[in-house]
Amino acid sequence: MVHGLEAKYFGKIKFTYLDADDPSTRDFQRALGFVYQPEFYLVDANGAVLMKWVGYVTEEDFEAASARYLAR
């Protein structure tokens, strides 16, 4: 799901992947409030978390949230 959205929103949304098993990402995980995999975050250009999904998120839910923030 995510990779298809990454292609669809290329140039509008930057997708970044975090390896939750990599110890070097622990500080970033704590800063985000990471709970468990999978988690998805919609973060603005200033680093503010706009939306957070813990567990599975549908493509439709992700696109609806993204569209609201892209329209700003």
Decide if 12 contacts 23 (C-beta within 8 A).
Answer: no
- Residue-level pLDDT at 3: 80
Rounded (5°) CA angle 69-70-72 = 70
Q: What residue spans define the domains of the chain? A: 2-70
Q: Is the pLDDT of residue 1 over 80?
A: no
Decide if 15 contacts 6 (C-beta within 8 A).
Answer: yes
pTM for this entry? 0.78
- Residue-level pLDDT at 54: 92
pLDDT tens, position by position, 5-58: 899 889 999 998 889 999 999 999 999 899 888 999 999 989 899 999 999 889
